[in-house]
Amino acid sequence: MRMSMTETLDEKKARLAQALRDNLRRRKAQSRESTREEAAKEPPDGDPSIT
């Protein structure tokens, strides 16, 4: 059984949309992690120029 072209395109769009959502979640998680690491390196008063 052959799929019509629109069914194939719809499936491709759905896969791409899911991949984009997954990528966005991963990038947000990486950003949160790097923000946490940078905050841990700063002095408690928040002024990184004072060591």
Distance CA 44, CA 49 (A): 12
Question: What are the two backbone dihedrals, phi and then psi, of residue 25, each rounded to the nearest 5 degrees?
Answer: -60, -45
pTM above 0.85, yes or no: no
Which three-class secondary structure string do you get for the chain?
CCCCHHHHHHHHHHHHHHHHHHHHHHHHHHHHHHHHHHHHHCCCCCCCCCC
Q: Is the pLDDT of residue 3 over 70?
A: no
Number of domains present in the structure of the chain: 1
> Is 28 domain-assigned?
yes
> Is 50 domain-assigned?
no
Q: What is the DSSP letter of 1?
A: -
Residue range 5-48, pLDDT digits in tens: 888 999 999 999 999 999 999 999 999 999 888 888 776 665 66
Structure tokens at 40: 């841990």
Q: Provide the residue range defining the domain that includes 11.
A: 1-38
> Is 22 domain-assigned?
yes
